[in-house]
Amino acid sequence: MKRSLRSLSLPLLFLILLACLALRSAVTRCFNYQSNPEDRNIHIDATILSISSHDPADSSLQTDISDLLKASLESFDTIGGKYRTLSLWRRIGSDDSVRPRSLARIRLPIRAQAHYPPERQVLLPLFRHSLATWARYHHAQLPYSIMSELIQRIKRPIEIFNGRGDSSEPYGTCAVVGNSGILLGSNHGGLIDSHEFVIRLNNARVVGYERDVGSKTSLSFVNSNILHLCTRRVGCHCHPYGDNVPIAMYMCQPRHFLDYVVCNSSHKAPLLITDPRFDNLCAQITRYYSLKRFADLTGLSPTRWNETHDPTTFHYSSGFQAVMLAFGICKRVSVFGFGKIKGAKHHYFTNQKAELKLHDYEAEYMTYRDLIKHPEMIPFLSGFRVPPLVFYY
C-alpha cells in the first residue's frame, strides 16, 4: 500500500514537470492549473474536436486498399534456394504493355516453409478476405462501446488459448512495459513479473535485461511493420517470443495483411489484429491532444497545426495504444519504461538515437496526465470508466 502511494505521487510530479517543460510559458500556467479549480472544468474546443475527428490519410488509404484487393499473387524462389518471395502486383491500366507494379512483397526463409501455407490459391483469398473485413470496420462509425469490447476481442482468445475459462472479468493487474532507456538500472524486473498480465512492445529484447525489465510476456503488442521485418528473419519469423506468446498488432499499412495471412497460419498462439475502430479512437485522442498542445503553446489557431505536423503521417505511438488496450482488459494498469530523461538511451536495447517525428510524445504525456487525474476531460471516451493507472520511473 505504502509503495503504491509513493509510486503514484512520484510519477505524477514527473508528469506535471514534463507538462510544464512542454508548455514554454510554463511555470505560472502550471501553478494556475493546480490552484484554480475553474481551469479543470471540461472545456472542449469545437474546432479542435472537429479536426481531430477527421482522418486526413483516409483517401490515400482507400486507394491503397482498392489496388491491393485487385492484385495478383506470385511466388518464386530466390537463386540459391534460401528464400521464397511472395509478391502482390497489379498491372495498372488495361494495356498489356504497361509494366506491372509491385504492391507488396515479402521474403520467407525456406527453412521455415513447413509452417507456411504453400499455395497462393489459399493465400490470396485469405488476404483479400481479411483486408476487406478490416477495411469495412475502418469505415464503421466509432461505437462508444469499443473499449468494452476489448475483453471479447483480445482477452477471450488469449484465455481460450491458455486453456483458462472464458471469463468476462478483466485481468487483476497488468504491466505495460515500454522500451525507454530509463529502464536500465531500474531493478523493476521482479515487480513487472509480479503482474498478472505483462504486455511488451515491438519485440523488445528481454534476454540479458531481466533484472530491469522482467522476463514474463503475456502479450506482445506490435505494429505491423515490426511483424513485416520479423517475417523474413529465420530466428524471428512470425514468432518473436516463441510459439506460445500471443501477439496483438495494429495495421499501419494495408499491404501488411500479406505478412498477417502468412504468419497467422503458422501461429499456435493467437495473432490478433486490433479493431480499426479502436485504432481510430486512439488516433482521434492523440490528434486531439496534439492540436490542443499546439494551440496552447503557440496561441495560434488549431487549423494551423498542419504547418508543423504532417497530418497524413501523424500517428500515435505503439505504447499509447498498448496502454489503451490495457484499460480495456485490466482492473489496474502499471506502466514501466515510458518517458525520457536526459542522458538515458532512447531504447534500452538498441542504439537508436532520435525518436520518430511522426509521434507527438509530449501530447501523449498530457493525455496520460488527464487519464490519471481527469479522465472525464478526454473526448471520445465518454462513458468508459478508466481504471487506475500508475507510472513507474
Ligand X SMILES: *[C@@H]1O[C@H](CO)[C@@H](O)[C@H](O)[C@H]1NC(C)=O
The residues binding ligand X (CB under 6 A) are 51, 126, 130, 261, 264, 303, 306-307
Q: How far is the CB of 273 from ligand X (least distance, A)?
A: 9
Please give the span between the terminal C-alpha atoms of the chain, in angstroms, as a whole number: 18
305 or 391, CB closer to ligand X?
305
> Which contacts qualify for 138-142: CB closer than 8 Å, 24 or more apart?
138/61, 138/276, 138/277, 138/279, 138/280, 140/276, 140/277, 142/277, 142/280, 142/281, 142/284, 142/380
C-alpha cell at 329: 482488459
119 or 307, CB closer to ligand X?
307
264 or 286, CB closer to ligand X?
264
Q: How far is the CB of 120 from ligand X (least distance, A)?
A: 14
Identity of the amino acid at 185: G
Q: Write b or e for each residue in 78-104: b if 16 or more Cβ atoms lie within 10 A of its Cβ, otherwise e.
A: eeeeebbebbbbbeeeeeeeeeeeebb
104 or 323, CB closer to ligand X?
104
Q: How far is the CB of 16 from ligand X (least distance, A)?
A: 31
Judge contact between 258 and 127, C-beta under 8 A: yes
Q: How far is the CB of 157 from ligand X (least distance, A)?
A: 9
28 or 133, CB closer to ligand X?
133
Q: How far is the CB of 261 from ligand X (least distance, A)?
A: 6
88 or 261, CB closer to ligand X?
261
DSSP line for 290-336:
HHHHHHHHH-S-GGGGGGTS-TTT----HHHHHHHHHHHHEEEEEEE
Q: How far is the CB of 51 from ligand X (least distance, A)?
A: 6
